[in-house]
Amino acid sequence: MPGAAVELQGITKAFPGLLANDAIDLDLRAGEIHALLGENGAGKSTLMNVLTGIYQPDAGRIVMNGAPVRFASPKDAIAAGIGMVHQHFKLIRAFTVAENIHLGWPDTPFRTSAALLESRTRALSERFGLLVRPDARVEDLSAGEQQRVEILRVLARGARVLILDEPTAVLTPGEAAALVRALRGFVVSGYAVILISHKLDEVLEVADRVTVLRAGRKVATLRAAECSQAQLAALMVGREIGGRRRGGAGPRRVGPIVLQLAGASADDERGVRALADVDLSVHAGEIVGVAGVAGNGQRELTEVLTGLRPVTEGQVRIGGRVMFGADPAAFLAAGVGHIPEDRLRSGLAPSMAVADNAVLREYRRPPVARGALFRPGAALALARRIAADAHVMVPNMRAPVRNLSGGNQQRLVARREMRVSAQALVAAYPTRGLDIGAIDTMLRYLAEMRDRGVGVLLVSEELDELLGIADRVAVLFGGRIMGVFPAGEAEPERIGLLMGGRAEAA
Ligand SMILES: Nc1ncnc2c1ncn2[C@@H]1O[C@H](COP(=O)(O)OP(=O)(O)OP(=O)(O)O)[C@@H](O)[C@H]1O
Ligand SMILES: [Mg+2]
């Protein structure tokens, strides 16, 4: 009979103007996968940061093996066998997988040979069933691979309790399934996992028990086998919520082309061709979905369309005008907004204030600027409005934006970019990290933009989401467009084949 691996008793954590955790109890048993659910900002990451010694609780205690413990830092927590993989990766991009896994590990003499680190990495990888290439550089890895490295990094330090903060948000369905298998194997050997996720179907499939937080309080702990998605959703938001709204309003009159690639090619960071001879256009009043497995040119596609990356051949046109070179300011001036796939690296300046981040794209425009004059009062007022429109509660607009919860950062970037999308919006995975209610809101916003005559390019791996809202769907594979279909005629099976690179038979 497995006992409690860790108990949290009455954990309370306040930030200025906000009670993030309010007397939360949670017991984690050896051998279980325990899911932690809650809306954006409910306090999930904060609670886990308390458990791993990043934050000190204002009240309450952590108990292990019947005795209270104190973690002054993550080092203490990992020494006690508790390790966490964060919502935002913390690997060093220029180092290899093996170097990252062994970094700061006390029994690794730092000047040890690469071969030794790599063979140890290989052994770990096999032991836990998490596939990595020890000699690859982190900057060359897909999100899924980076995550496996993060997990191995924690396991290498002897973690017996593994905390994963939204691990599958950035994974392809195949990668997510492989991760779940590895976690299952992991708990079978007596370890324990806390899994934070917004995907209720996934939670019910993999978790043994589920704890739901709402506005900093614990609402319930339930056995997964005994609850439904609807029940969990209702517990999260505190009321019954309706089913998911679908788009698909049928054929619509669209306007002229606002965003266009003609014979466009582009290279990735390493100079390898990542987009090859792409023809794609988005009309005013239309949502074009881009389906495909991440890493097939999506990043480069969104970057050439927003002035972050030059084309090596072909043209980018906005509203019929040819754009030359990579010049984000020119694309902004032309009315193109961008929700990037990696909000913390390219969407936000993490250590800058919420207010500055919110008005980042409009600080040269009225009302924030009058001529060359910057008007701080107007900037703050606009920032407050953007935060309110994004449904983000910000106690202090001067606090760094990294203090916002992951989902709230995403909402803020999205709202800010929608405001500057006079012609077109390029949105990469805009629903990533959002809770279920916020996903609906985001999709509704995209539909509203379309109805106002904006052209929307929506990159997503969720085929259901794309087919539900897009007017046309383009499939991207190996940097090429494999086909473009009216959403109403697109068969998921056929799109799936194209996503895997299988061209159509006759
Ligand atoms: N260091 C901090 N300083 C001030 N406020 C913070 C800090 N960290 C978190 N908060 C606030 O505490 C609340 C809970 O945030 P937390 O990150 O725990 O939410 P979450 O449940 O993980 O949400 P999400 O699903 O969006 O990731 C939020 O309102 C957030 O802004
Ligand atoms: Mg979080």
Specify whether the backbone of 487 is left (phi greater than 0), alpha (psi in -120 to 50) or beta.
alpha
The residue contributing the CA closest to ligand 1 atom 25 is 40
User: Is 59 within a domain?
Assistant: yes
Q: pLDDT value at position 3?
A: 60
User: Is 272 within a domain?
Assistant: yes
Q: pLDDT value at position 243?
A: 45
Buried-exposed string 110-125: b where 16+ CB fall within 10 A, e elsewhere: eeeeeeebbebbbebb
Ligand 1 site residues, Cβ closer than 6 angstroms = 15, 18, 20, 38, 40-46, 399, 403-408
The residue contributing the CA closest to ligand 1 atom 12 is 20
Per DSSP, 244 falls in state: P
Q: Which domain holds residue 435?
A: 257-335+421-499
Examine the pLDDT at 1 and tell me if it is beyond 80. Answer: no
Q: pLDDT value at position 226?
A: 94
Substitution site in 211, 403, 441 for ligand 1 pocket (most atoms within 8 Å of beta carbon):
403
The residue contributing the CA closest to ligand 1 atom 8 is 403
Q: pLDDT value at position 342?
A: 80
Locate the ligand 1 atom nearest the alpha carbon of residue 198 and give its number: 25
Distance 230 CA to ligand 2 centre (A): 22
Please check whether residue 213 is in contact with residue 409, taking contact to mean a CB–CB distance below 8 angstroms. no
Examine the pLDDT at 340 and tell me if it is beyond 70. Answer: yes
Q: pLDDT value at position 253?
A: 75
User: Rounded mean pLDDT of the chain?
Assistant: 90
Q: What's the rounded Cα separation, in Å, for the pair 324 and 406?
A: 35
Task: Mark whether 434 and 469 lie in a shared domain.
Answer: yes
Task: Give the Cα-Cα-Cα angle 55, 58, 61 (nearest 5 degrees).
Answer: 85
Total number of domains constituting the chain: 2
Examine the pLDDT at 492 and tell me if it is beyond 60. Answer: yes
Task: Mark whether 212 and 166 lie in a shared domain.
Answer: yes
| Residue 232, both tokens | 């969990």
What does the pLDDT look like over 161-218, one tens digit per residue? 999 998 887 777 778 888 888 899 889 988 999 999 999 998 999 999 999 999 999 9
Please check whether residue 182 is in contact with residue 212, taking contact to mean a CB–CB distance below 8 angstroms. no
Task: Mark whether 231 and 261 lie in a shared domain.
Answer: no
């769907």: which residue's tokens? 473
Please check whether residue 152 is in contact with residue 124, taking contact to mean a CB–CB distance below 8 angstroms. yes
The residue contributing the CA closest to ligand 1 atom 7 is 403
CATH code for the domain in which residue 48 is found: 3.40.50.300
What does the pLDDT look like over 299-326, one tens digit per residue? 999 999 999 999 999 999 999 899 998 8
pLDDT-above-70 percentage for the chain: 94
Substitution site in 46, 434, 441 for ligand 1 pocket (most atoms within 8 Å of beta carbon):
46
Task: Mark whether 271 and 230 lie in a shared domain.
Answer: no
Buried-exposed string 250-271: b where 16+ CB fall within 10 A, e elsewhere: eeeebeebbbbbbebbbbbeee
């904006």: which residue's tokens? 454
Q: How confident is the model at residue 505 (pLDDT cuts 50, 70, 90)?
A: very low
Task: Mark whether 186 and 265 lie in a shared domain.
Answer: no
What does the pLDDT look like over 142-164, one tens digit per residue? 778 888 999 999 998 889 999 99
User: Is 304 within a domain?
Assistant: yes
Q: Is 28 helix (H, G, I), strand (E, B) or coil?
A: strand
Question: What integer is the mean pLDDT of 359-383?
Answer: 91
Q: Which residues surround ligand 2, an ion (CB under 5 A)?
A: 45, 405-406
Task: Give the Cα-Cα-Cα angle 294, 133, 49 (nearest 5 degrees).
Answer: 70
